[in-house]
Homo-oligomer: A and B are copies of this chain.
Amino acid sequence: MSRQRVVIVGAGFGGLAAARALARADVEVTLIDRRNHHLFQPLLYQVATAGLSPADIAAPIRSILRRQRNVRVVLDAVIGIDREGRRVILDEGRPIDYDRLILATGARHSYFGRDDWAQHAPGIKTIDDATAVRRKVLLALERAETETDPERRKALLTFAVIGGGPTGVEMAGAIAELARRSVSQDFRSITPQCSRVLLIEAGPRLLGTFPEPLAEKARAAIEDLGVTVLAGKPVEAISDRHVDIAGIRIPTHTVIWAAGVQASPAAMWLDALADRAGRVMVRQDLTVPGYPEIHAIGDTAAFIRTDGRPLPGVAPVAKQQGKHVAQQIARGQSLPFRYRDYGNLATIGRHRAVIDFGRLQMSGTFVWLLWCTAHIFFLAGYRNRFAVGAHWLWNYLTFERGARLITGDAKPTNGEKTWAI
């Protein structure tokens, strides 16, 4: 009998964990991703704010799995699934047959039906998203430097982050550090006091999933950095020149979206039942109802705990689910998945972070150091760990942000044809 063919779609935290957990299983693994790299998304906001380079937090999938001989990596986009024929349909290559299928395709931004906001308020899910946001923030500072009209300069120096979850808090803190401290010596006309960073949250407070005292500490810390928190205020409109909240129009050239996510189209491929965010409803063993050979994990899956609460869309959930599914496949079992919650971390600039271990709740410098250590530890690849550690040390000691490059879409000069390829 030939070996079981396990196909994994997506090399994020969940897909990679599943592939690794199958290292010693007697199966043939095919890992398909649209990109050639695994990305450490929790640090993507630091690329967007010029603290780290893309290559510091990403590693080629092939390199990560180099020593695992039962894995084949395929760079291609999945465009459908033939459930009856048990085949994954690819955009460029030939269909790939599976005996077991693991869907770990992650999530993208959701604008809650206002897709027209996407062009004005980019989110950050990919490296290209992050470098686009970096470009937007740095260009606003550059334009403010030469702008002489005070109203327009104020709008250029107003940065609005939508969404008060961990991503929004981290992003707002990092922008405040960049706009108010890191670049303060580099400009002649604009001063740190000129810039405003707004953190806008529709719900009643920041960090809704954290206990209230911790969220309160985070709010105080982020306000210390110069961020203005506007909670309980849903966004009503976004254009390229302003954002409207609670009936007030705020002129700004830079709006960043950290408010909502939506699952990738795996549920459409399967024609399966999905929740409001597009996530596939899965059984307790993470299989798709009616298809015991198809598993959905991480942000692709809506897993409802036995107490009725859904699991959050965070990396530890995806990793544990990937490992669980792989073990079940290797052992030929079908046991229910149980999530182990090791705590909830968020960081706010230098020296500040909050952590929620359930009964134990902490904040301050020690937690910040813990956050730095944990993130370096979880990065894939020794090279990335070394690079991030070194850059952080440098940024910490010098207050500089080294990756302040505006790339892409270079300004054309009259008479030129071929600067950019």
Contact = CB atoms under 8 A, between A and B. Distances in A.
Interface of A: 34-37, 53-56, 58-60, 62-63, 66, 72, 74-80, 91, 93, 108-109, 111, 115, 118-119, 122-123, 125-129, 131-133, 138-139, 142-143, 145-146, 183, 185-188, 264-265, 268, 381, 383-384, 386-387, 390-391, 394, 398, 400, 402-408, 410-421
A187 B394 CA distance: 35
B186 A63 contact: yes
A420 B129 contact: yes
A114 to B, nearest CB: 11
Given A394-B383, A400-B383, A418 B66 contact: no
11 contacts: A35-B411, A37-B405, A53-B56, A58-B405, A62-B186, A62-B187, A72-B188, A76-B146, A77-B412, A91-B411, A390-B390
The 10 A-B residue pairs with the shortest CB-CB distance in the complex, in nearest-first order: A62-B186, A265-B415, A122-B421, A55-B403, A77-B411, A79-B414, A53-B53, A75-B142, A53-B55, A34-B411
A401 to B, nearest CB: 9
Given A36-B138, A63-B400, A63-B404, 9 more contacts: A37-B406, A60-B404, A63-B186, A74-B146, A76-B411, A80-B414, A133-B421, A381-B402, A383-B394
A410 B381 CA distance: 23
Given A66-B185, A386-B394, A418 B76 contact: no
A420 B131 CA distance: 11
Given A78-B413, A132-B421, A146-B74, A405 B36 contact: yes
A381 B400 CA distance: 11
A35 B414 CA distance: 15
Contact of A36 (B37, B133, B268, B404): B404
A421 B35 contact: no
- Which of A115, A265, A387 has the most chain B CB atoms inside 10 A of its CB? A387
A155 B80 CA distance: 30
B138 A418 contact: no
Contact of A413 (B59, B79, B187): B79
B402 A55 contact: yes
Contacts of A414: 77, 79-80, 91, 265
Nearest to A131: B407
Given A77-B412, A146-B93, A387 B402 contact: yes
Nearest to A186: B62
A59 B413 CA distance: 22
Nearest to A148: B94
A108 B419 contact: yes
Nearest to A267: B415
Contacts of A265: 413-416
Contacts of A55: 53, 402-403, 405
Contacts of A72: 188
Contact of A418 (B109, B131, B405): B109
A230 to B, nearest CB: 24
A410 B126 contact: yes
Nearest to A71: B188
A411 B91 CA distance: 9
